Amino acid sequence: MSRSTDDGDPVQSGILDGVRVLDLSTFVTGGFCSLMLANQGAEVIKVERPRIGDDNRHSGPPFVDVDGYDGPGKTASDRGESPYFWTVNYDKKSVELNLKSDEGLEVLYDLVGESDVFIENYRPGTADRLGVGYEDLRERNDELIYCSISAFGESGPWSDRPGYDLLVQGTSGIMSVTGSEEGDPVKVGLPQTDLITAMWAAFGIVGALYRRESTGKGERVELGMLDAALPWLTKQAGKAFAGEEPTRMGTKDPVLAPYQVYPTADGHLSVAAANQKLWTELCEAIDRPELADDPRFETNAHRVENMDELEAVLSDVFRKRRTDEWVELLADERGLPVGPVHSVDEALHNEQVEARNVLSTANHPAAGEIPVIEHPLNFANAESGFRDGPPLLGEDTVPILRKMGYTDEDIETLKNADAIPDE
């Protein structure tokens, strides 16, 4: 996908420049998947329900007030713009299409004919009923990469069940190993299985695009959220395979110690002495060299077996200083793997994040300048990153139709047929 100037000098482009993605999904699984593709240069077109849009536009609170704005997409939410929606939809375009109308469906088919990737996260069977199933669209474009995401996949006794991140965190075993030792199962504080699934889907799509380069053939990528979450059990699955029952351990680790969070004089400190060398150096750095020779803590296996006693000893030590003092002494001066436990705001605004330009801004037509969380892939010979803010509902409907060759008369006909909104 490399390009050249008139002088023959190479111009960097995104890895996925020239790839068009149609995203019919709602909420996070498909949305974060297409967000990852957009970050690498793909053109992503969100196909949304007229006057309603992606359900994630209405998720919240909080909302950002955009009183006084009277342009496209002003009916997306009567409470303002959703920052949560922004984080999943930077750099996309929005087209409103009524897929329950024949005219709206034909417009979608025209878009499919000029696209590379199609993403949907309907419950199994719904896409076929709407006329947008894999076989329907393959007839219009046999090179299409078609990705279907559902809660439990398209086979098995649970395939018809609806599902959200909360349910899959439960059924995947993640909740059973999250939380305090004596407490109830706890949901991870972010939509973890949505994001896990999105990343698997993006990986599958890019793999299918790569294969298409050599075969010229399209592909169907099908996955369920539960399937996507299970490979991430790793350590916990290893214990189960050995006949042990993984349990909730708070911030402790099932196979490493010390590898957890400890209280300090003013907060908390993460300590990850994940091998014997680091353990010995930590003991020296905290002025407790005798701990390295203590029979209870001599090897990692001993430390894991005596984890509660180790926690008590180290907690007494770390409570004697502030978190920043420990970080300076252990991380900055000694090069040991320790760090603070940040709030979300602290995680987004600190010297490391600023140095890496992870947080940037983009222009939003209704809300003005908004924050953007960049994605982590940096290439030596390709561009990556977001160029624009998230789209307002339907703001690209007419421009994209015109680009496809629809005349003003055609567009008026679609409005009269309620295939697109008349706004």
3-state helix, strand, coil in the chain (%, to 5): 40, 15, 45
Domain ranges for the chain: 3-231+358-416, 268-340
pLDDT at 77: 56
Catalytic (active site) residue 194: yes
Q: What is the pLDDT of residues 284-312, one digit of tens each?
A: 999 999 999 999 999 999 999 999 999 99
Helix, strand or coil for residue 273? coil
pLDDT > 60? residue 6: no
Out of 165, 194, 227, 396, the active site residue is 194
Q: What is the spatial distance between Cα 30 and Cα 147, in angstroms, rounded to a whole number? A: 9
What are the start-end ranges of the H helices in 57-122?
A: 83-89, 102-113
| Contacts of 141 by beta carbon, 8 Å cutoff, 6+ apart | 112, 113, 115, 218
Percentage above 70 pLDDT, the chain: 95
CATH topology (fold) of 268-340 = formyl-coa transferase, domain 3 (3.30.1540)
If pLDDT is split at 50, 70 and 90, which confidence band does 96 have? very high
Helix, strand or coil for residue 265? coil
- What predicted TM-score, i.e. pTM, was given to this entire model? 0.92
pLDDT > 50? residue 2: no
Mean pLDDT across 46-68: 89
| Of 278 and 6, the one with more pLDDT | 278
Q: What is the pLDDT of residues 11-21, one digit of tens each?
A: 569 999 999 99
Upstream peptide bond of 399 is cis (omega within 30 degrees of 0): no
DSSP symbols for 128-140: HHHT-SHHHHHTT
Among the four given CATH numbers 3.40.50.10540, 1.10.3720.10, 3.50.50.60, 2.130.10.10, the one describing domain 3-231+358-416: 3.40.50.10540
pLDDT > 80? residue 340: yes
Q: What is the spatial distance between Cα 82 and Cα 78, in angstroms, rounded to a whole number? A: 11
Q: What is the spatial distance between Cα 383 and Cα 306, in angstroms, rounded to a whole number? A: 49
Which of 38-42, 63-67, 222-226 bottoms out in mean pLDDT, i.e. has the lowest?
Answer: 63-67
pLDDT > 90? residue 338: yes
pLDDT at 69: 66
Left (φ > 0), alpha (ψ -120 to 50) or beta: where does 250 sit?
left
Mean pLDDT across 23-49: 97
pLDDT > 50? residue 4: no
pLDDT at 7: 47
Q: What is the spatial distance between Cα 332 and Cα 325, in angstroms, rounded to a whole number? A: 10
Average pLDDT over the chain, rounded to whole?
A: 94
